Amino acid sequence: MADANLLKDKTILITGGTGSFGKCFSRYVLEHYEPKKIIVYSRDEYKQFVMSNDEFFKAHADKMRYFIGDVRDCDRLKRALEGTDYCIHAAALKQVPACEYNPAEAIKTNVGGAQNVIDASLDTGVKKVVALSTDKAVNPVNLYGGTKLVSDKLFIAANAYAGSKDINFSIVRYGNVAGSRGSVIPFFRSLIERGETTLPITDYRMTRFWISLEQGVELVIKALAEAKGGETFISKIPSFYVKDLAEAMLPGCTTKETGIRPGEKLHEVMITPEDSATTYEFEKNYVIYPQITYNDRQVPDLSGKKVEDGFAYSSGNNKEWMSVDEIRERLREVTVC
């Protein structure tokens, strides 16, 4: 865990704060740190009502604030960010099919919203901004990934506009969180609960990384503690075959290969060979440093090990793999979020 004083007496705003990440981040910070205030910024008043009435958050009501607003609205963001120390940008349209069918809406939120977060943070004295990225932003094959690639580029370039301001922008990248809505674990669970004995696998070669929500939160806090500006932080986490997940969830089940879906990849890719020129390896994570630095505060931490030229990191070429038994053990800790 990062220095206990990192978030002490700090005000933190989370865009998309009623989502799975926002709730887990807020809970984790309240349990392990002493923030002054956590501001949940989101557009759904019902989800804010539900979150504010959760017993845990009711017990910490003195530190929680709920702000109705959309990242598409820069003026509203500026009002919400006044007096804020740190901003965590988690708001996005994430469903691949929905983004394909509503491309203009995805661009307004994922690209325009990202720029609004940048502009509002620069104008209100925010000290650190961490944006959540996704494996789908790497060599994107769908519109969601394309918008997140642009978002990543915007946050990296935002350091060019910091000037003399004490602010930096960085990124954390991970894939589907174990148990997240729309992911394979709750889908398999729903089939099993209905009594199905055959589970569909889009492709028997398909692999994914395993990351928990708490690990995602810890990576964001690491970025808050260490970022100088423009870095992309990536956790070292194990891989698994989706067919092994099916066996772990329903021992002895039969499986049916259904074919890869539009916009889907065989493997989650986090680092490409092109990134290797500025990527360093640390004990528990990788950091991709920006190819262009925009101010003299963007000093890379070269205490890590420079990766070899051409290095790539994906769930398909990972060194750490989970067995069926290990997956089954991890599943005991997973709740659908």
Active site residues: 136
Phi, psi of 203, rounded to the nearest 5 degrees: -155, 130
Dihedral, CA of residue 202, residue 184, residue 186 and residue 130, to nearest 10: -160
How many CB atoms are located within 10 Å of the residue 321 CB? Answer: 14
Q: In angstroms, rounded to a whole number, what is the distance separating the alpha carbons of residues 38 and 240?
A: 35
Match 């990202």 to its residue by tokens. Answer: 114
Q: In angstroms, rounded to a whole number, what is the distance separating the alpha carbons of residues 13 and 7?
A: 12
Q: How many residues does the chain have?
A: 337
Please give the angle made by the CA atoms of 98, 175 and 319, to the nearest 5 degrees: 150
Say how many Å lie between the first and final Cα of the chain, rounded. Answer: 23
Please name the helix (run of DSSP H) or strand (run of DSSP E) that holds residue 120, with its range, or none.
Answer: helix 113-124
Match 């990191």 to its residue by tokens. Answer: 313
- Tell me the one-letter amino acid at 229: G
C-alpha pair distances (Å), 267 with each of 18, 204, 242, 270: 29, 11, 10, 10
Q: What are 165's strand-pairing partners?
A: none
Contact 211, 177 (CB under 8 A): yes
**Helix axes of 20-32 and 213-226: crossing angle, nearest 10 degrees:** 60
